[in-house]
């Protein structure tokens, strides 16, 4: 893979590249300066004795600069392109460096006790509560949640959802037999007299309907009488039927032990028993259930209900002022307020977060650290070298510069000591 051209570098990397080039120029300038001084001092040291000290310093500076240039260059590439052993360390040992870095992170950072200690001192619940109770922050969280929910709803296939609803309905509603559980449920209701309220409601509703619809009885019975019966008799028969119906309803309302109520109790009791024990009754219920759920109209209603619910949700999620969005923001603020003021809740949340983080770290720390190893292994050696050199190369050039001056001082010191110990050298 070719080296990343400067035009593809980020602004920060471009600035690092310019700084690296400046420091390389400075370090090279120091070496050239020492070489010029060495040549001048070497040429004129016979005429001026003190230039021997200058020559020794310049000579030591050149040696130091060249040695450190070799050391720094050997990290990233082969000096002068020569196949010298133990050079181009980073590109040749890239994968090993990545594994070592991954192991270092896994051992020293992805440890349960390290994570727990850090989280216990962070007070996550309190900070989250203080941040969340602010209206702009709660609105931001609500907006992000609405965006995610909208994306999920739009990604769902209507056909798939309809099929899922159908499968769930068949698994949990159609497939199980309704008779025995419905019979047991009805039996308990009858035993507890819990159905009396429903009977009262039904009787009251019939009574109100009769009082409001007396004209519905006109001709109800009389139209079936022979034609020779007088019209006055027709009216008398209809009024009698109507009045008897009113009396019957009033009697049922007034008497808790009315035969009609007892008949209803008996019917419901028999129905509860038949639903549990009579195969014919259970078969009728199952057939009715199957006919209901197999009806195309029921399927169409289910699809229409889903489309209506989906469109309603999408509209509410898209409108920042919708009731759903406002209630969500209000709920988030209330959660933030509780996290800020409720010490017990803070402790529970902090403990839960710490336990969850430690569990994840202990269980998956090798997988997390392998991200570093795998990423470095996928890098091209030349690109890896460039990335690392951009990050640390400028500081390494200071080593070359320091080596130049330290070498000069060392050369001067060695030459001076030698002349002091061995005069005439």
Average pLDDT (189-205) is: 88
pLDDT band at 233 (very low <50, low <70, confident <90, very high): low
The answer, yes or no, to whether residue 2 has pLDDT greater than 50, is no
Residue bearing the bigger pLDDT, 59 or 301? 59
Contact 158, 304 (CB under 8 A): no
Rounded distance between C-alpha atoms, residue 262 and residue 256, angstroms: 9
DSSP code of 170? I
Cβ neighbours of residue 124 under 8 Å, at least 6 residues apart? 349, 350, 353
Confidence at residue 224, expressed as pLDDT on a 0 to 100 scale: 63
Cβ neighbours of residue 128 under 8 Å, at least 6 residues apart? 336, 339, 349
Confidence at residue 232, expressed as pLDDT on a 0 to 100 scale: 63
Q: How far is CA 317 from the centre of its chain?
A: 18
The answer, yes or no, to whether residue 193 has pLDDT greater than 60, is yes
Rounded distance between C-alpha atoms, residue 204 and residue 132, angstroms: 53
Q: Which residue in 404, 387, 384, 383 sits closest to 23, CA to CA?
A: 404
356-404 pLDDT, tens digit per residue, is 988 888 888 888 888 888 887 787 787 778 888 888 888 888 888 888 9
Rounded distance between C-alpha atoms, residue 365 and residue 360, angstroms: 7
């Amino acid at each position: 893979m070719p080296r990343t051209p400067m035009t593809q570098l980020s602004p920060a990397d471009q600035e690092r590249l310019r700084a690296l080039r400046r420091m390389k120029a400075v370090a090279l300038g120091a070496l050239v300066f020492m070489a010029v001084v060495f040549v001048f001092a070497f040429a004129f040291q016979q005429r001026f004795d003190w230039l021997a000290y200058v020559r020794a310093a310049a000579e030591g500076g050149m040696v130091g600069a060249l040695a450190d240039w070799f050391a720094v260059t050997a990290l990233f590439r082969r000096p002068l392109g020569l196949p010298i052993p133990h050079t181009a360390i980073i590109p040749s040992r890239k994968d090993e460096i990545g594994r070592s870095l991954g192991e270092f992170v896994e051992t020293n950072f992805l440890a349960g006790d390290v994570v727990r200690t850090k989280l216990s001192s962070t007070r996550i619940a309190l900070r989250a509560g203080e941040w969340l109770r602010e209206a702009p922050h709660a609105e931001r969280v609500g907006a992000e949640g609405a965006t995610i929910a909208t994306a999920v709803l739009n990604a769902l296939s209507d056909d798939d959802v309809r099929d899922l609803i159908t499968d769930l309905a068949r698994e949990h509603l159609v497939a199980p037999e309704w008779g025995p559980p419905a019979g047991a449920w009805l039996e308990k209701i009858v035993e507890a007299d819990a159905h009396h309220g429903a009977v009262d409601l039904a009787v009251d509703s019939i009574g109100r309907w009769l009082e409001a619809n007396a004209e519905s009885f006109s001709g109800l019975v009389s139209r079936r009488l022979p034609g020779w019966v007088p019209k006055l008799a027709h009216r008398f028969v209809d009024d009698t039927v109507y009045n008897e119906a009113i009396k019957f309803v009033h009697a049922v309302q007034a008497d808790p032990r009315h035969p009609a109520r007892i008949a209803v109790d008996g019917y419901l009791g028999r129905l509860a028993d038949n639903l549990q024990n009579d195969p014919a009754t259970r078969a009728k219920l199952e057939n009715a259930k199957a006919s209901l759920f197999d009806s195309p109209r029921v399927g169409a209603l289910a699809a229409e209900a889903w489309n209506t619910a989906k469109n309603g949700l999408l509209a509410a999620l898209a409108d920042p002022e919708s009731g759903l969005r406002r209630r969500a923001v209000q709920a988030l603020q209330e959660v933030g307020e509780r996290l800020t003021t409720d010490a017990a809740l803070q402790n529970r949340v902090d403990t839960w977060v710490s336990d969850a983080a430690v569990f994840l770290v202990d269980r998956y720390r090798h997988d997390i650290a392998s991200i570093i190893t795998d990423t470095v292994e996928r890098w091209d050696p030349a690109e890896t070298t460039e990335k690392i050199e951009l990050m640390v190369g400028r500081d390494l050039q200071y080593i070359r510069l320091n080596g130049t001056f330290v070498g000069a001082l060392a050369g001067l010191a060695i030459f001076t000591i030698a002349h002091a110990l061995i005069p005439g050298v």
